[in-house]
Amino acid sequence: MWNSGNYPTTELNITKADAESVSGSGDQTHNVIRLSQKKYIKRQTARIDPEMLRKELKEYGAWDKEQLENHIHNIERWLWLSGSSIIEELHEKKRR
C-alpha cells in the first residue's frame, strides 16, 4: 500500500497490516516506533529528505517550527499519517 506526499522523497510503501498497526485511535507512539524499526521501513525512511518532510508536515498545521526540527520524530509522524491515510482510503473504497 502506497502513501505519497506532496513533496519528493516522502513516498512510503507499507503493508496493510503495518498500516493498521499505527492507524487506530489514541496514542500510537509505541506502534509507530516499532514500525520504524522494520528493515523495509528503515530503507525507505533513510531516503526521505528532512527538508521535504518538514514541508510536508508543516502543511498539516499540527506541529510548530520547533517540533518539526526533529527528523526522527517527523519520520514517526509521517509513518502514523501514512498508515492512517492508507486505512482510511481502503475504508472509503469499500463504501463505494
Q: Mean per-residue pLDDT for 52-59?
A: 95
Range of the domain at 22: 2-95
User: Which cell goes with 2?
Assistant: 502506497
Contact 13, 2 (CB under 8 A): yes
* Residues written for the chain: 96
Domains held by the chain: number: 1
Kindly report the average pLDDT of the chain as a whole number: 93
Q: Is it the case that residue 96 has pLDDT exceeding 80?
A: no
Is it the case that residue 31 has pLDDT exceeding 80? yes
Cell 514500525 belongs to residue = 35
pTM for the whole thing? 0.91
Q: Quickly list H helices, the chain.
A: 16-22, 29-36, 39-45, 50-58, 71-95
